[in-house]
Each structure stands twice: as C-alpha cells, then as structure tokens.
C-alpha cells in the first residue's frame, strides 16, 4: 500500500508543489492549511489531494488532525513541515505578537507535528521528515529577526531529531530554499526584487518545483542514508 504523506502549508506555493510532486510519486497525500478555504478547495479540485484545515501552531489541533488523517487515509510515514508566515519588522519596532506568531507557526509547528507522528513512525521502524528552512535562517535578513530565528531553529531541530530517529529507520532532513517565485516574494517592491535577483548566481528566482524535487529525493525509501542534512536550493547564493 502507498505510503501516507502529510504536507503542512500544503495547498499554496511551495507546499502545493510538494503535495503534487509527492502524489505523482505515488504517495497518498494530505495537505494541511490554516486560513484560505477558497485556495484549498481550488487546489483539492485541481489536484485531487485531500485537504485538512487546522492551526499547526496549536499542539492539540495537530494531535487531533493527525488522528483524522490516520482514520481517513492511514498511518503517516512521511511528514513535510512547510507551513510558514512572515511578520516583518526591525526589532526595535517589532511587537511581541509578531515575534510569537512567527515562532509558533514556523518553528513550534515542527515540534507539534513531529510529536504527533513520531511514536507511530518509531513503532513502524520507518519515517521520513523534511523540515523547510530558509536561506534567511542560515544568513539572516534585515527586518526578519523573528523569521530568521525560527528558520535557524528548524535547522538545529532537524539535526537533533535526526540523531534520535536514526536507529528507528526515521530520517530527518531540512531543505533551505533561497528566493522562490511565490506570492510572498512577488510582493517585494520591484526595485528590491531586482537587487535580489541580481545577487543570485544563476540569475533567476527559484520555482516551487525546484524545491519540491529536493523534498521528493529526501522522502524516498532509498534515501535512508541521508539524515541530519540541510539541502540548500538557492541558485548558488
């Protein structure tokens, strides 16, 4: 029977590309989203991927949501933690809510989701976890102390959990995208975006499919010797 894969933030942008790519590989995919019902319904109709709505920053909602997926589709063997938000501001102007919202959604969700599936993965002696970090978690970015801290935390979380899961057949890796052609990046002022692209050695923004290909590689059954790693997909930045 095909393995079950869960992708958080899985109905738009990079997450949608990951969900589609995993489905094309033969996995049974559940895409989790938090807010945009219309986009999720459109994605479901277009792709056939099952969609589930809950706040991945809330531990109990993650527990309950995974239980629903297990009842509907089967035990979760692949988890992609992709959900993320931005609440940009320089630190001296940042409200505590802007800090906490980003930490809860981007980093707290990794704990919430992994904790909700890790025991079953250990019992089944198989698991593939991929956490989506960011180039800005590696290099930092002006006006993003919250986002950079959360994404940097993801990279440390990944390395530690990889050590815990290794003997149970569970791999844990991260993907660190560079600047990708998504709604979030396209919202950047044009003059700023031009400077960003000029700093990318390959001379273009990445695509969501560029990132999805890396995730597909890391979730494969035969990728069992790759764990605790961060795959940077950033055009050479």
Neighbours of 11 (CB within 10 A): 27
**Cβ pair 90, 35 in contact under 8 A:** no
Which among 171, 180, 181, 169 is positioned nearest to 217, based on CA atoms? 171
Which residue out of 27, 33, 52, 147 is catalytically annotated?
Answer: 147
- Phi/psi of residue 214, nearest 5 degrees: -65, -40
**Does 147 participate in catalysis according to the annotation?**
yes
Q: Which residues are catalytic?
A: 147
């Amino acid at each position: 029977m095909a393995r079950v894969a869960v992708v958080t933030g899985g109905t738009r942008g990079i997450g949608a590309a990951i969900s589609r790519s995993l489905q094309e590989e033969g996995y049974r995919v559940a895409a989790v989203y938090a807010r945009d019902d219309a986009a999720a319904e459109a994605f479901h109709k277009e792709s056939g991927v099952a969609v589930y709505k809950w706040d991945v920053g809330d531990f109990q909602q993650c527990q309950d949501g995974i239980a629903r997926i297990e009842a509907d589709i089967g035990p979760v063997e692949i988890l992609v933690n992709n959900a993320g938000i931005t609440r940009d501001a320089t630190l001296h102007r940042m409200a505590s809510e802007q800090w906490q919202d980003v930490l809860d959604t981007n980093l707290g969700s990794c704990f919430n989701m992994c904790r909700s599936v890790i025991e079953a993965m250990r019992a089944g002696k198989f698991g593939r976890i991929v956490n989506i970090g960011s180039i800005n978690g590696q290099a930092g970015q002006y006006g993003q102390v919250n986002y950079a801290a959360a994404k940097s935390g993801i990279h440390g979380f990944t390395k530690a959990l990889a050590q815990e899961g290794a003997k149970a057949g569970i791999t844990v890796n991260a993907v660190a995208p560079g600047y990708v052609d998504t709604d979030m990046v396209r919202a950047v002022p044009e003059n700023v975006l031009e400077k960003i692209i000029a700093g990318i050695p390959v001379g273009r923004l990445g695509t969501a499919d560029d990132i999805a290909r890396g995730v597909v590689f890391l979730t494969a059954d035969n990728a069992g010797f790759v764990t605790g790693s961060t795959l940077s997909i950033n055009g050479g930045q």
